[in-house]
Amino acid sequence: MTSGAIAVKFSVDEFRAWKNKKVTLLGMSGVGKTYLSTLLCGHHWFHYSGDYRIGTRYLDEAILDNIKQQAMQIPFLRDLLRSDSIYIVNNITVDNLKPVSSFLGKLGNPEAGGLPLAEFKRRQELHHTAEIAAMRDVPETNADDDIRGEPVGHFVVLTGYRRDTREILIADPFKANPLVGSRYYAVNVQRLIGSILLGIMTYDANLLVIEPKSSPQ
């Protein structure tokens, strides 16, 4: 346990009643962290994989350089790489983190596939720095998050148009909306258009157009 950490023990009922549930799984390689996380994902949990973040954001270039160095030792692949006839990509997934483990390697005789002490320590230091950065990327527990957090916002239905006052009629299922205290109200057409454009520019809203079926001929 790190310095300053606080261990909190919940009962089953307290855990189920916990509004923002977050669980950190710590353990050696192979103990089943990814397997358990996959099971939780089947129950609508979001899986933040530290190793996946490390491999795709912080060690991606180092992993690719290591693979290319190995490939350059094969004359056939070396010629193709030097002529840009082929390229190598890092295909890390949450379920397949082998590129990260293969980069870290094992301390031992290079002739037997091991790494010299200096190189092993260099890679461990790179991974240590990347691991700290990946943990700092974890969002705060109560922070609003469109993907991992609770959904916010609501939808409204445009039900009509007053031509004389240039107002759009709104049906709003959210009774306690900040504009008025009613589920039915009208807004100026310019204000509505501005809101729609703002939602499009910020990728924070969708506009769904529903039309009645045409009458059969």
The residue among 138, 110, 122 whose CA lies nearest residue 54 is: 138
129 and 175 together in one domain: no
Exposed/middle/buried for residue 130 (C-beta within 10 Å: 0-12, 13-18, 19+): buried
pTM for the whole thing? 0.56
Q: Is residue 19 part of a domain?
A: yes
Q: Is residue 143 part of a domain?
A: no
Cβ neighbours of 103 (radius 10 Å): 20
**Section 63-78 average pLDDT:** 92
Q: Residues 15, 9, 37, 204: is their CA dihedral positive or negative? A: positive
More confidently predicted of 6 and 180: 180
- Dihedral over alpha carbons 121, 122, 128, 130 (to 10 degrees): -160
Per-residue model confidence (pLDDT) at position 21: 78
Q: How many domains does the chain have?
A: 2
Per-residue model confidence (pLDDT) at position 197: 80
174 and 91 together in one domain: no
Per-residue model confidence (pLDDT) at position 4: 38
C-alpha distances in Å from residue 24, one per residue of 36, 54, 112 = 11, 16, 36
Q: Is residue 216 part of a domain?
A: no
18 and 121 together in one domain: yes
69 and 127 together in one domain: yes
SS (H, E, C) 95-115: CCCHHHHHHHCCECCHHHCCE
Domain, as residue range, for 187: 157-201
- Across the chain, mean pLDDT equals 80
91 and 161 together in one domain: no
Output the CA angle 142-155-186, nearest 5 degrees.
Answer: 125
Q: Give the position of tokens 């991992």.
A: 148
Q: Is residue 76 part of a domain?
A: yes
